[in-house]
Every structure is written in structure tokens, then in C-alpha cells.
Amino acid sequence: MDIAVIGLGGTGSAALRFLADAGHNVTGYERFEIGHRRGSSHGNSRIIRYAYPDPLYSNLMTSAFPLWEALCEKTGRDLMVKCGGVTFAPGGHPELEATIAALLSTGVAHTVMSSSDAMQRFPAFRFSDDEVVVFHADAGFLRSGEIVEAQVALARDSGAEIRAGVEVVDVRESQTDVYVRTACGDIRFYDKVIVAGGAYLPMLFPELGLPLTVTRQQVTYVGLEDAAKYHCAPDRMPVWIDASTYWYGFPLDGRLDGLKIARHQMGDVVNPVVDDRAVRGSDDDVALRVAEERFGGVSGQVMHSEVCLYTNTPNEDFIVDTAPGTGNVLLVSGCSGHGFKFTVLLGKVAADWAVSGDLDFGGERFRIGGA
């Protein structure tokens, strides 16, 4: 089969790899360079976890984890670091209670701790007396930017054609094939097309009115005093999520100095084509205050900041659906800031669809009308 994958971030690079490994003639289109910083898949780390307040996502992770483990084995690289993860909030908080219920329903081993017990186990943290902490050992972080580059390299080694720096401007389905036209006027025809364009997807299909909003998100790396770094290493500090405020963060990742901290929220709506990637000192100041309240040994310095994009659906579910009026064009998007951990699974689902035509994933929740 002749298949195109448009957009080579987390999901697109995975789909490309799976299709190339299976021996298909596959072409990957990327508007920018591979591993670019103008989307949602770049940077050093993304959290991976089973702990979700929604059992659908906890259950999907049982399929995603083995695919990540297989990728690490295939590359021989530590693209996934299992340092464990904690989710916490004041006792009785509805999101924390829902997370515990989802872990129970999925059968994921976890421990519910008091704040004092949690601080004994994880000395880097400061928890309030009324907070309850849920820990599960299989959580950790994915080396997101390295993963994208590794998957594209594997696909290339398996025969995929990589067209980086090539913008696709039109995708149309006829009775016999799918037409793909680029900004430079090149036209090719494919049996199936997978579009994993992230923030740029609405631009490619403006007539569909896709329920996607693109927002700007900033992450901050907060400096530590030397004495505090011991307890913030990945073998002593888990990734974390404050379920009551949606702040989250990572241990020292071994790539950039400092603790990475950010907030899962819908930031300012932006046009992804416009270069609004400048970091804001006011955002860093807020992150620094949160870090100083939550951790000991914060130096008061900001070591690094960067901006990425969220592509949000109204309910934060994904879109995995054929484009309306087509049967051979699959749209995969709307990861809404929490989806990188699923990208290897989304890529596998998309690749399987391209070969079989079957799409039974997420039910109506992941259809365009369900978002």
C-alpha cells in the first residue's frame, strides 16, 4: 500500500515507524524540521502514568506501556524513565477520589499515603497536613523530543521517505485515491492518508470546523541548591501532579539543570504560525513561587524556560476519526496537553487503520462529533 503520514510529532512518527516496519510504501511529511519546537512533541520530558480520574485513559495505558517498552528495547535507549508518580490533593477531593477509583478498576498497584508518610518516603516534597498522596511505581517520564527523532530514524531505516520542511496545503479524496498537494506544487496520490498535524490540523481542513483550540503553554526549570539535588534525582523523586491545582512536575531529568514545573491549563489562544514563543517572566515568577512552597532547597533561580502548544478539544478527549465525507483520510489530534503518553498507541491504531480500514478505538468519545 502507498500511505502518507502528515505531521511527524509523537503520533505521526509512531504511525510512520509501524507502517515502515510492516513493509508498506510510506511517506512522512513534516512542515518544519524533524524534532522542531513549534508544536507539542519537543522538549525533554512528558509524564507517563496510569493515574487518571477517567478509567478510559487508565485502561488505554495498559496498551500503551508495552509499546513504549518495545521501543526502548528496539533502540537500546532509556526513552522511558520509570521513577514512579504521585498524585495528591486535600483528602476527599473529587479528582483524587476518581483517580483512586480508576486505579482500582484497572488493577494498577498503588499506595495511598498520608502527607507525613509521603514526606518520609519522598523527602524532596512538602505536603500539607490535609493532603492525601497516591503513589504508583509504574509512572515516570518519556524523553519526548528524543522519541520523535528516534522513531523517524527507525522509519527511515525501514524504507520510509521523509519529506521534512515540506508543507502540505491540500488533502482530497477521490473515488480511487487520496490527493496530497504541497506548498511547492508537488502532487502525489496515496491509498490512505493519516493526518497527525496537531496545532496545524485546523488550517489544513478549515471547512470541517474542527473543535480544536490552540493555546500557548510555558514550562519552567527551577534551580536547586546543591544539597537538595540528591533527593530530587529520579531514583528518589517521582513525577507529580497536584490534582487540586493542576500544577505538575518532574525530578531532575539528566538533560537540563533544575526541576521542570508547569500547570495543565488552557493558556492564551494563539495562531501557531505566528512566532509567539517568547517566554514570559511573569509565568516564571508564578512557577517559582509554587516550587518554593512545594519543595525544599529551591535556589530562587530560573534555569530555563520554554513554550509549547496545546491543541485542545472542549472535553480534552482525543480526535481519532476519518474526515467527514471520506473513508481513506484519518485525523488524529486534540491531545489537549495530556496525550503524549498515548502517542505510540495512537500511532499504532492509525497504522492498523491504514492497513485494515478498521477503526474501533475510544468509541464515540474520540469521534469528531463527540469532542
Q: Give the model confidence (pLDDT) of 175-202 as tens digits.
A: 899 999 999 999 999 999 999 999 999 9
Q: Which of 343, 346, 344, 340 is nearest to 359 (CA)?
A: 346
Strands 213-224, 178-182: pairing is unpaired
Query: Quick one: cell of 13?
Result: 512518527
- Where do we find the cell 510510506? 26
Question: Residue ranges per domain, the chain?
Answer: 2-42+145-211+316-370, 56-142+213-312
Query: Is residue 110 within 8 Å of 136, Cβ to Cβ?
Result: yes
Positions of E strands within 225-258: 239-242, 247-249
85 phi/psi in degrees, rounded to 5:
-150, 145
Q: Which of 120, 63, 16 is nearest to 347 (CA)?
A: 16
Query: Is residue 86 within 8 Å of 123, Cβ to Cβ?
Result: no
- What pLDDT score was predicted for residue 371? 60
Which CATH architecture best describes the domain 56-142+213-312? 2-Layer Sandwich (3.30)
- What pLDDT score was predicted for residue 266? 83
Query: Quick one: cell of 189?
Result: 496520490
Q: Count Cβ atoms below 10 Å from residue 294 Cβ, excluding itself.
A: 21
Write down the H helix ranges in the chain. 10-21, 55-75, 94-106, 115-121, 144-157, 201-204, 281-294, 343-356
In this structure, which amino acid lies at residue 282? S
Query: Is residue 307 within 8 Å of 42, Cβ to Cβ?
Result: no
- What pLDDT score was predicted for residue 238? 98
- CA-CA distances (angstroms) from residue 283 to 71, 218, 245, 288, 292? 35, 7, 15, 9, 14
In this structure, which amino acid lies at residue 37? R
| Whole-angstrom distance, CA of residue 327 vs CA of residue 140 | 37
356 phi/psi in degrees, rounded to 5:
-100, -25
Q: pLDDT, tens digit, for every residue of 127-146?
A: 999 999 999 999 999 999 99
Same fold yes or no, 2-42+145-211+316-370 and 56-142+213-312: no
Q: What percent of the chain is helix, strand and coil (3-state, nearest 5)?
A: 35, 30, 40
302 phi/psi in degrees, rounded to 5:
-100, 120
- What pLDDT score was predicted for residue 315? 93
Strands 25-30, 2-6: pairing is parallel
| Whole-angstrom distance, CA of residue 245 vs CA of residue 298 | 20
Which CATH architecture best describes the domain 2-42+145-211+316-370? 3-Layer(bba) Sandwich (3.50)
- What pLDDT score was predicted for residue 303? 97
Residues of the chain short of pLDDT 50, as ranges, are none
CA 207 to chain centre: 27
Per DSSP, the residues of 98-155 read HHHHHHHHHT---EEEEHHHHHHH-TTB---TTEEEEEETT-EEE-HHHHHHHHHHHH
